Amino acid sequence: MSWIDVPGFHAAAPFGPQTLPYGLVRVDDRWTPAVRVGDHVLPLRGLAGALGPRLAGLVSEDSLDPLLAREAAIWRELRERLQELTGGSTAPRGARLISLDEVRSALPFTVGDYVDFYSSRHHAENVGRILRPDSAPLLPNWTHLPVGYHGRSGTVVVSGTDVVRPHGQRRPPGAELPVFGPSTRLDIEAEVGFVCGGPVGGRLSTAEAEEHVFGVVLVNDWSARDIQAWEYQPLGPFLGKSFATSIAGWITPLAAFDHARVSPPAPPHRLLDYLVEDRQAGLDLRLAVSWNGTVVTRPRFAEMSWSFAQQLAHLSVNGATVRPGDLFASGTVSGPLRSERGSFLELSWGGAEPVELAGGARRTFLEDGDSVVVTATAPGPEGSVIGLAEVAGTIRPAASA
């Protein structure tokens, strides 16, 4: 029996001893790294005695940056030590448990370069059909490489941060000239993000990519579809996405997903060698998106065509460096069913088919005051459940022009 006797700290719950995600919380007027245990947090700064000086030194600053900069073997060592400490029958000296509702969280690491992929075939085909009805839904490159773009790391925000409706240019349907004003088609994208760590690397193989991913976070890539539709050709997403990208405040270590490994759907042809995986790197994550409290879609990550290992191998194949703190997101997670679409653009089919919420409200795109929460779970060892912490955000009205 563990000394941690709090709700939700057991193997059948997402934040039991099998998960132990890392975050950053405010305790006694200082930020400290912590792990989430059920509905409580265990700050790590107080555990120097139990962790020993070497491991304690990695979690005694006001971010997870020193830990991310170390290699995967050290991450495994710290995780094993924390599993021992949280599973023991007596509390280690200096341990404190604080209810999650009583602490503030912050972005737990310095976000370096940010990349967003486009690796759900279902999403890519849906968006193609909605935005480009007269062309083939997929371009010829899509099945040969994980398509992506570089985003804006400075506007990555932690779960719970309000999102202000962005201003921008859009061209109303049928109009010849663009107008300026607040977006009228504000959307979400439910995605899975990968937080990089380890020594600075370039040109990583798919096998090396495994050692350069510290952990996994849920992502909401807020997207202003009207701004995007007008600006994106020929260079891709720009201001329609760079105003805010939310990530969960808790990073679930990649090691927690050892029992959730699956193969991505088979590609329709042979891949170039650098994209062939040594180890299955697809993940059986089951997402749920709620809109003002109604679950509107349940995307399955196992449907993604490209894995995180293929994405990282591809983004570095030209020699581009991968540094600790770099973040890359999977792309919108959509499955083949309507009930699995990962954006409201797809759920409402371009605004033509409103989504019903509890209480009779109907929506196509986001209204001011709307809240969206994305959660996910995965299978863990011996029938346990691995959790990915929620990414939540509420829309605030546009600032005055």
Ligand X SMILES: O=C(O)/C=C/C(=O)CC(=O)CC(=O)O
Task: Summarize as ranges the residues that interact with Ca ion (CB under 5 A).
Answer: 116, 189, 221
Residue 123 interaction partner, one of Mg ion, Ca ion, ligand X, none, beta carbon < 5-8 Å per kind: ligand X
Q: What is the pattern of x (binds ligand X, CB under 6 A) and - over residues 176-195?
A: -------------x-x----
From CA 67, how far away is CA 197, in angstroms rounded? 8
**Which residue, 25 or 188, is less far from Ca ion as judged by CB?**
188
Query: Which of 189, 301, 274, 193 is CA-nearest to residue 240?
Result: 189
- Judge whether 24 and 32 are in contact, CB under 8 Å: yes
Write down the least CB distance from residue 221 to Ca ion, Å.
4
In the bound complex, what is the minimum distance in angstroms from residue 59's beta carbon to Ca ion? Answer: 31
Of residues 78 and 391, the one with the C-beta less far from Mg ion:
391
Nearest-approach distance from CB 117 to Mg ion, in angstroms: 13
Tokens of 118: 């486009």
Provide the 3-class DSSP secondary structure of residue 43.
strand
> Which of Mg ion, ligand X, Ca ion, none lies near 127, with the C-beta cut-off 5 to 8 A by kind?
ligand X
Angstrom distance (rounded) from CA 254 to CA 215: 4
- Spatial separation of the C-alpha atoms in residues 149 and 169, rounded to whole Å: 21
Q: Is 26 annotated as a binding residue?
A: no
Query: Smallest Cα–Cα separation from 241: which of 254, 250, 231, 256?
Result: 231
Binding part of the chain for ligand X, among 5-13, 123-131, 204-212, 277-285 by CB under 6 A, reads 123-131
Residue 122 contact, options ligand X, Mg ion, Ca ion, none, Cβ 5-8 Å cut-off depending on partner type: none
Among 123, 170, 185, 300, binds ligand X (CB under 6 A): 123
Residue 218 CB, nearest approach to ligand X (Å):
13
Specify the 3-state DSSP secondary structure of 321: strand
Q: Is 232 assigned a ligand-binding role in the annotation?
A: yes
The continuous run of DSSP H or E covering 290 comes out as: strand 286-291
Min separation Cβ 378 and Mg ion, Å:
24
Residues engaged in binding Mg ion (CB under 5 A): 221-222, 241, 245
Q: Give the DSSP H/E element, type plus range, for residue 377.
A: strand 371-379
Other C-beta atoms closer than 10 Å to the C-beta of 328 total 27
Residues forming beta bridges with residue 24, ordered by sequence position: 33
Q: Which does 245 bind (CB under 5 to 8 A by kind): ligand X, Ca ion, Mg ion, none?
A: Mg ion
* Whether 123 is catalytic: yes
Tell me, by CB under 6 A, how many residues bind ligand X: 13
Kindly tell me which of 206 and 311 has the beta carbon lying closer to ligand X: 311
Asked if 237 is part of the footprint of ligand X (rule: CB under 6 A), the reply reads yes
State which residue, 34 or 395, has the beta carbon closest to Ca ion.
Answer: 395
Question: Quick one: which of 206, 220, 242, 332 contacts ligand X (CB under 6 A)?
Answer: 332
Out of 10, 40, 122, 123, pick the active-site residue.
123
Residue type, 175: A
Distance CA 138, CA 127 (A): 9
Gap between the Cα atoms of 48 and 56, Å rounded: 5
Q: Scanning residues 19 to 78, which ones bind ligand X (CB under 6 A)?
A: none
Intra-chain end-to-end CA distance of the chain, in Å = 58
Q: Which does 131 bind (CB under 5 to 8 A by kind): Ca ion, Mg ion, ligand X, none?
A: ligand X
Please answer whether residues 141 and 66 qualify as being in contact, where contact means their C-beta atoms are separated by less than 8 angstroms.
Answer: no
Q: What's the min distance (Å) between Cβ of 213 and Mg ion? A: 21
Q: Is 132 annotated as a binding residue?
A: yes
Secondary structure letter of residue 95 according to DSSP: -
Residue 324 CA, distance from chain mean position: 16
Q: Are 148 and 311 in contact (CB under 8 A)?
A: yes
Enumerate the known binding-site residues for substrate: 118, 132, 228, 232, 332
List, by residue number, the catalytic residues.
123
Give the footprint of ligand X on this chain (CB under 6 A). 116, 118, 123, 127, 131, 189, 191, 221, 223, 232, 237, 331-332
Enumerate the known binding-site residues for Ca(2+): 116, 189, 191, 221
